[in-house]
Each structure stands twice: as structure tokens, then as C-alpha cells.
Structure 1
Amino acid sequence: MSTLTRHSKPTRQARTPALGAAAKKRAAAFTVSHAADARFVKRGLRSYFEYRDLGIARASAGKVVAHVIRARPEKAPHGAWHRHDCKLQFVYVLKGWVRFEYEGVGVVTMRKGSCFQQPPNIRHREIAHSKDLELLEIVAPADFETLDA
């Protein structure tokens, strides 16, 4: 694992929505999310993506979040360097392709069927993606922070 170098003081960029105290206290619950009932929203960490919540954050009492992310064809990625303050970030490419640049790694292109796990706090940026990109992303904890880097 590479050592991160800060080029500027990190600032808080975004935090996933917090769960209520009652949800955090209860045990894990059973949940189902069907594609036929899928609802994508245009709000989330990145304006060039739409997000489909899979209900895992609520079911796991905030331990994990899982969502399907898909590209908004009318929007281009911004490519700003950032990092995620989390314990785990796993991504599986469902459709299309995406290209990232990672500090200490270089440029990596992932295509349909590729999966990757980013080490916590690795400095990275998205360079480009296909108009039909769809990803499954799983992050722990659910209320992780994204910081400018």
C-alpha cells in the first residue's frame, strides 16, 4: 500500500446521509431490492451519476451502504482528486467502463465484470467513463466521508 501525500489541506466534501439513532441501535434486518422496482435519484456524491439505494444501510444499521451507480449521459466527470474516509470500498462494474487514476498506482481502466477494492483514504480521481456505465458499490461504514485531496 502506498503512502498518501497531501498536496493541500483536505476539506470535507460530502458525507452520506446519516441514519437515525433508532436505525443504528437495531440489529441487522432482512431487505430485498428488485430491479423492477428500481428508482434512481440524481442526488448523491457526484452530479454526473444517478444512485439507486439497495436498502443495505438501513438493514445493516449503518454498518454498510450498497448502491448501484449509473452514468448520466448528459454529464461528464469532473476528475477532482479526492479520498474516502472509510474502512472498505468495493466496486463491481456491471456495464460499460470507467477509468481512474490512483496515487502510487497510476491509471486503471475497469470494464464490465471488473471489480476493485480501494484501500481506505487512497487519493484518486475519475478520468472518464462510458455513457452506459453502471457500478455496484459497497462501502463501510454507510456514513463515510469524501474529502478533497
Structure 2
Amino acid sequence: MTAPRPASSLRIVLGCADLDAALAFYTEELDFRLDMIMPADAPRMAALSGYGLTLVLRRVAAVAHPGDTGREAASMSANRDVVAATDWVVGRAGMQYRDLIPGRWEGRIIASHIRIPQGGPVPDYVHYHRVGFQMIFCRRGWVRVVYEDQGPPFVMQEGDCVLQPPTIRHRVLEASPGLEVVEVGCPAEHETWRDHALTLPTPQRRPQRLFDGQRFVRAVAADAPWRIASPSASHCMHRDTGIAQATDGVADVRILRASSGSACRAPTAMPEGGARFVFVLRGRLGIHGADGGMQELRTDEACLRVLAQADTFEALDTDAEWLDVCLSPRALAS
């Protein structure tokens, strides 16, 4: 059976207890096509089209979405930390997600630890996200991806990072066994739209193209030199990603580490009204607050800091290394 594709004139909303099963039925048995799904980490709504209809499926279940955990308690009018991640859940395209910011600061930011344990071809499709900011950091393994107007598919290796500007079409093609990435985006919940018409790679290559004022960035770890983070932090090194320039200051993403086998204190500048997300890649990191207390993070642990200009970040191990994402008020207002 093949569903005709005239412009949809009628919109029908249906509730379902099992969204995956409903999607399989309507797309495989009735040949509806998937147009939109959200959120990516634990989908609970999808839009399909066919036979002149727009069909909206909404998951209805007693179990709350991971992103709803503590949302009311996470209204951060003062400095607040979020450390404990949620359990792994299966999200879009069969990828597994671990929510690194339960509560998600009233929906302003999401940070996900994503993995594909088995590796191999990924059942993804050409799609884009309606976001204000989104970046991907390759934590372990490798992943082959392709982006609109950025040339042929390429492989992200451990330590590489990309900025996915708003609405850029892209697709995940293949992953190594045990692939892990860290994704940070604003707002926390956003729509993922499938592009049925576009084929990737596109014939043209336009690396300077702007997508809603932002430029695609591919930061290759092997090509990026380590530099002293600041004159006041000579024992702290950083590797820039170029994201601050490509977003015109919407966000700044760097990788920091101790240098010369010494512990270090990292620079702590953060835009007024902004937020800072930290994910520990190796070793232990201490965060000293203005109240004199210290919070310790270990490998694969994360923290969100807001309104925390007086914080000091200290490497507690000489091999400590961490991902540092500073978000401006413009990112958080998206």
C-alpha cells in the first residue's frame, strides 16, 4: 500500500501507550511517513503524514519523562548544581540516552550522554533540529556523519567536536562499537524534523554558510594545539573549538586539562546571566563555591553551574581533563 502525498488538510491527534509500536504500525503497515519527533532522548510525540492527513501521535503513560524529574525544584534563581544523571533510556534511531541535567533548568538546557553499544550502520535519516544552540562532543569511539553543504561524510574521533547550527540538515551513518558522545543543546525540548526531499551529501560545499546566524564547526582534536588557558592559570591548558566565534558569542566550548603534571586552577569567566556545563573526561575536578565549600566530580560526572561567578575550578588529579561549555543568556533564551 502506498499513501499518496497531497498537502495534509486534516489534523488528527491520537494518544497511545506505546509510541514505538504505534509508529511502526502507521509507517510500516499503513505507509504513513514520519515528519517530526520529539524529544529525541525519549520520544513522546510524533507527526506523520499520508492520505491527505496529518497524524499526531502522543504517548500517554503513567511513567514520567526523565526530563520532568525535579523540574519544579530546578528553578535556579540562585546557584544550583545538578550532578546525578538519570538511567539510560532508548531514544530516536535506537540510540541510548542518559540525561546529565535532570530537571533541565525549567527546559532551558539539555545535556545528554549518548551511546550506541553495538556499533555498525545507524538507522538514521536526513533531519534537522529547531534549536538555538547544539553541539556534539565525541567521548569514546568514532562516528561517521554527514552535514548539509559541508562536503562528503567524515568521521568524528574521540575528542572531536562539532557545532550543529540551527536547522542544518544532517545524518548519522555509522558508529564504532561502544560509541559515546555528549550533546548539549538549548532549549531542552526541541523538534526533530525529517527532510524527505534532501539527499546528503549536497553537491555544493559552503563552509561559511550561516544557519540562523551560526556557522557549522568541525573541531578535530588532533589538529588543535593545547594553549595556556590564561595568564593567571599557567598550569591549566585549553583546546579551543572555535564555537564562540562561529556562534557570535552564543556559546563557548573548550576542553581543559592540567599541564606539566601539576594540578591547576582554571579560569572561571561566565557571561552574566549565563550558565556553565562541565563534564569530566578523566580524573577528578573540584569546584570551589563562594561559600567555601567544594564539590568533587569524577570521570563521566557532570555539573551545571548558574550565577556562579565566584567559582574556582581545580584539577584534583594531574591528568584531569574536562569539557567546559559556557552558555550566554542568548542561548538560554532560545
- The TM tier, using the shorter chain, reads 0.7 to 0.9
Determine if contact 1:23/1:62 at 8 Å carries over to the other structure.
Answer: no
**C-alpha spacing 1:15/1:61, structure 2 compared with 1 (3 Å):** same
TM-score by length of 2: 0.36
Amino acid of the residue matched to residue 126 of structure 1?
V
Please state how far the C-alpha of 1:25 moved relative to its aligned partner: 8.5
Match of 2:191 in 1: 145
Please state how far the C-alpha of 1:59 moved relative to its aligned partner: 4.5
Please state how far the C-alpha of 1:24 moved relative to its aligned partner: 9.3
Instruction: List gaps (5 residues or longer) in structure 1.
Output: 1-9
The answer on 1:31 being equivalent to 2:82 is yes
Please state how far the C-alpha of 1:33 moved relative to its aligned partner: 2.6
Please give the per-residue CA displacement for 1:49-93, whole angstroms capped at 9, x wherever unaligned.
Answer: 21111125x142111100100103177411310001101111111
| Cα distance in 1 for residues equivalent to 2:147 and 2:37 | 18
Please state how far the C-alpha of 1:13 moved relative to its aligned partner: 2.4
**C-alpha spacing 1:59/1:11, structure 2 compared with 1 (3 Å):** closer
Match of 1:46 in 2: 93
Determine if contact 2:133/2:185 at 8 Å carries over to the other structure.
Answer: yes
Aligned residues: 133
Structure 2 counterpart SS, 1:61: helix
Amino acid of the residue matched to residue 76 of structure 2?
A
Instruction: List gaps (5 residues or longer) in structure 2.
Output: 1-33, 41-64, 196-334
- Provide the aligned C-alpha RMSD in A: 2.6
The answer on 1:101 being equivalent to 2:152 is no
**C-alpha spacing 1:59/1:121, structure 2 compared with 1 (3 Å):** closer
Determine if contact 1:44/1:51 at 8 Å carries over to the other structure.
Answer: yes
Determine if contact 1:73/1:131 at 8 Å carries over to the other structure.
Answer: yes
Amino acid of the residue matched to residue 44 of structure 1?
G
The answer on 1:122 being equivalent to 2:122 is no
Determine if contact 1:24/1:62 at 8 Å carries over to the other structure.
Answer: no
Structure 1 counterpart SS, 2:107: coil
**C-alpha spacing 1:74/1:125, structure 2 compared with 1 (3 Å):** closer
| Cα distance in 1 for residues equivalent to 2:163 and 2:150 | 13
**C-alpha spacing 1:83/1:24, structure 2 compared with 1 (3 Å):** farther
Larger Rg: 1 or 2? Answer: 2
| Cα distance in 2 for residues equivalent to 1:59 and 1:143 | 9
**C-alpha spacing 1:89/1:59, structure 2 compared with 1 (3 Å):** closer
| Cα distance in 1 for residues equivalent to 2:186 and 2:145 | 21
More RCO (CA 8 Å, sep 6+)? 1
Amino acid of the residue matched to residue 84 of structure 2?
S
